[in-house]
Chain A
Amino acid sequence: MAENKIIVASTPYLRNGETAHCLMFDALLAAIPAALFAVYYFGIRALAIMLVGMLSAALTEAVIQILFKCRAFSYRDFLFSFMTREEITVMDGSAVLTGLLLALTLPPTVSLWIPVVGAVFGIVVAKHLFGGLGYNIFNPALAARAFLLAAWPGSMTVWQNPAVQGAASAVDAVSSATPLGVLALGNQTTPLVQLMLGTTGGSLGETSALALLLGAAYLLYKRTITWHAPAGYLGTMVVVCLLSGHDPLFNLLAGGLMLGAFFMATDPVTTPLAPVGRIIFGCGAGIITMLIRLYGAYPEGVCYAILIMNSLTPLIDKFTSRTFKPDGIDVPLVEKIIKK
């Protein structure tokens, strides 16, 4: 009888089959309603911006990984090396997601080189200089947007509202403000129905709350994100609005809050680990957003709020993790049964 060939490996042997790129793919899929609405509402130029953003992000990551991360990369068998080397993780889709999310935060009137510069900054500086996926402190898409806003404030604040300007093309777009900008300038509010559907001025992906909520529902169903951070974020916004006498619904739907709460504040890498920490993260982001909106020079504060909270994430992690005494053992499962 032939010998048995038994592989000794430590249990568990079962996995639910989810991989890191499943999470990225889910987030990409969830962003599609907002992206489709942007194309429908702002025209084919929106599609160009998003495609340029995604392509340049993926390309930047691939080049970085080929040049600096993969020692054994063989240029002779370029395709084979690219497909098989473990160090090249551009296929996990995180760079593409960064590019798309960055494009969704850009105004529809920007030149096409803006998303390229943003994607390169986000991938190189905000992601790979910190160590790549899993080690970056700041959300690459938001860091890139903050960089672009600081470097080219002129072109980053030219908004366009096709519903108001009729068939006006992007070439002769007049500066028409976002709902929050209108509120800050002339104290006019935009009807809630328009905010819900998204027929207002604003960044590509932030206008339609309905499309974003559709994507968020998918992410929550797939358990790619948890409810903690968005609930803390939106809940804090409502509370602060009520305390300061502002319209909570308007503040929830206007600006980039929905995009920020469901797509940026739930980014796994840059947010706290523990559920409690995620709620604290959301609350902090909500307070900072409202402070910027009420007292700051910018009409919009989601981007900076989340970036500031990103920098506090290690601190939140430190204080939300339970500490055990030496030799301390806790058995919550049994205590749950015995107490009742």
Chain B
Amino acid sequence: MDGLKPTFVRRSWSPLPDKNSESSAVHMSVPEKVELPLQDLPGDSFEVLVSMGEYVRGGQKIGTMGIHPQYLAVHTPCAGRVSAIEQRVHESGGERRVLAVEITAILDQECEPAMPFSQFRGDWLMFLRDMGVPLDYEALKTARALIVNCTEFEPTISTRSAIIKSHADAFAGGLQRLIDATGLGEVTLLVRAAESGLRERLDAIANRVRGVRVKAVPHAYPDTLQPLLSFRQRLNGTPAPAVILGPGQILGIYEALEMGQPCIRHLVSVAGSAVPSPHNIWVYVGTPLADILRSAGVSFPLAGRVALGGPMMGGPRYSLDAGIGKRVRGLYAATGLLLDDERKSRFYKSCACVRCGKCIDVCPAGIMPISIAEQVKFYDLTKAQEFGLLSCLECGLCVFVCPSQLPLVEMIKLGKLQTKGRESLLIYNIFKTLSS
């Protein structure tokens, strides 16, 4: 009933970052079983390089998503035996199925020695594809400028600052490698102005690497910017002015090019009300979500919500069996019995729009969410596009501030789905492993 209680404190316009997640990162041990999908969507092309029952070494390439030259290699993070190559239910549920390789780990076997760049035939982009680093390769080829987004939009995720703090040298090295290889003239590190500690570290890095500048921005930039730029390029041919990467990807580039280490491990923030102490965990690709949550101290059985990413832009999950993808930087698990719409106080149910215009004031994309949602409600999708339906970043800030509790983002996503199909849903695209 907190909405009924008058408060004299000003309501925030963006979710406040989680203070708990500043502790140092934990390494998760090799899971008993990993599930590595070879398709993002049913119908995508793929290649399997192993057969059922075969023994694989840790770090071995077991297949590719897509086919040459548009592909991304998939490596097994652990040594073990291929225990299943089969169609698994896709995250969207229902009849959609994607091919996945399941590997039962043999825990005492070592990782195989890494492959250096010098032994690889082909250019460095192909080498990164072969190392399975999840980048937007098409965008990297055409872009003039590079933006490294070091801000965290999601309140529960803090992997970017954690990577910059713990791997500053590798981060600077990866940036240097990227600039040398691509010849990008303009490299910008984005940092939130409020995070002065992180900004000092980035300033030090910018001093070491030539051609890099740090830009402080007042608000965090959502992760959906890069999918939106790619979508715009596919839709109407507008060349993207910049390619946007994260520190995790820069670190992946460094580890692949310098050490020849395939992308089998990445940092994930586990948070939410079901997690007793939110923290960052280095997880192996393909680890089942249930294992990650269990190692973070979540008690089972879990009653509540689970989403990949964070609470603002995350992708809701209905099952915890699937393996974690390469682009997923956060796992959000919230318990609660009052999450159900039926059990909410009626003050928290959506009511008529009072036209306060807060969604417009807060929107980082500069569109009018309420006008678009109204048009989608009346199935006038042409009018909705005129209001900028496709420019929406799906960041969820309009829902965060809406006093009438309107499902604005859901309406906008529905409109996008009906006009341009699944491709235009950015929230899905930020977790898609092969994006090009």
Judge if A1 is at the interface, Cβ distance under 8 Å: yes
List which A3-56 residues lie within 8 A (CB) of chain B: 3-23, 25, 29
Residue among A84, A86, A323, A333 with the most chain B CB within 10 A?
A333
> Total interface residues on B, using CB and 8 Å?
96
Question: Is there an interface contact between B347 and A223, defined as CB atoms closer than 8 Å?
Answer: no
Q: Could you pull out 22 A-B pairs where Cβ atoms are within 8 angstroms? A: A2-B301, A5-B302, A6-B306, A7-B303, A14-B312, A16-B13, A18-B401, A19-B348, A20-B351, A20-B354, A21-B347, A84-B346, A92-B347, A133-B351, A273-B368, A274-B360, A322-B368, A328-B236, A328-B385, A334-B225, A334-B244, A337-B190
Question: Is there an interface contact between A333 and B364, defined as CB atoms closer than 8 Å?
Answer: yes
Number of interchain pairs (Cβ within 8 Å): 233
Judge if B400 is at the interface, Cβ distance under 8 Å: yes
Question: Is there an interface contact between B340 and A7, defined as CB atoms closer than 8 Å?
Answer: yes
Which residue of A is nearest B353, CB measured? A134
Question: Is there an interface contact between A331 and B391, defined as CB atoms closer than 8 Å?
Answer: yes
Judge if A327 is at the interface, Cβ distance under 8 Å: yes
Judge if B238 is at the interface, Cβ distance under 8 Å: yes
Q: For the complex, give the distance between the alpha carbons of A119 and B394 in Å.
A: 42
Question: Is there an interface contact between B305 and A21, defined as CB atoms closer than 8 Å?
Answer: no
* Contact status of A3 and B301, CB under 8 A, knowing A18-B3, A20-B351, A329-B235: yes
User: Nearest-CB distance from A151 to chain B (Å)?
Assistant: 29
Nearest 5 pairs between A and B by C-beta? A12-B396, A134-B352, A268-B356, A19-B3, A5-B303
User: Nearest-CB distance from B359 to chain A (Å)?
Assistant: 9
Judge if B370 is at the interface, Cβ distance under 8 Å: yes
User: Nearest-CB distance from B36 to chain A (Å)?
Assistant: 23
Which residues of B approach A to under 8 Å, CB–CB?
Answer: 2-4, 6-8, 10-13, 15, 145, 147, 155, 186, 188, 190, 215, 217, 221, 225, 228-229, 231-232, 235-236, 238, 241-242, 244, 300-307, 309, 311-320, 332, 334, 339-340, 346-349, 351-358, 360-361, 364-368, 370-371, 382, 385-388, 390-391, 393, 396, 399-405, 407, 409-410, 413, 427
Question: Is there an interface contact between A12 and B399, defined as CB atoms closer than 8 Å?
Answer: yes
Judge if A338 is at the interface, Cβ distance under 8 Å: yes
Q: Per a CB cutoff under 8 Å, which of A9, A89, A133, A274 touches B316?
A: A9
Question: Is there an interface contact between A13 and B334, defined as CB atoms closer than 8 Å?
Answer: yes
Judge if A59 is at the interface, Cβ distance under 8 Å: no
Judge if A335 is at the interface, Cβ distance under 8 Å: yes
Q: For the complex, give the distance between the alpha carbons of A21 and B352 in Å.
A: 12
Question: Is there an interface contact between B427 and A326, defined as CB atoms closer than 8 Å?
Answer: no
> Total interface residues on A, using CB and 8 Å?
61
**Which chain B residues lie closer than 8 Å to A327 at the CB level?**
235-236, 385, 390
**Which chain A residues lie closer than 8 Å to B353 at the CB level?**
134
User: Nearest-CB distance from B273 to chain A (Å)?
Assistant: 10
* Contact status of A21 and B4, CB under 8 A, knowing A326-B385, A329-B238: yes
**Which chain B residues lie closer than 8 Å to A75 at the CB level?**
none
* Contact status of A338 and B186, CB under 8 A, knowing A6-B306, A331-B365: yes
Judge if A319 is at the interface, Cβ distance under 8 Å: no
Judge if A226 is at the interface, Cβ distance under 8 Å: yes
Which residue of A is nearest B155, CB measured? A14
* Contact status of A12 and B313, CB under 8 A, knowing A21-B3, A333-B364: yes
**Which chain A residues lie closer than 8 Å to B317 at the CB level?**
6, 8
Question: Is there an interface contact between A337 and B242, defined as CB atoms closer than 8 Å?
Answer: yes
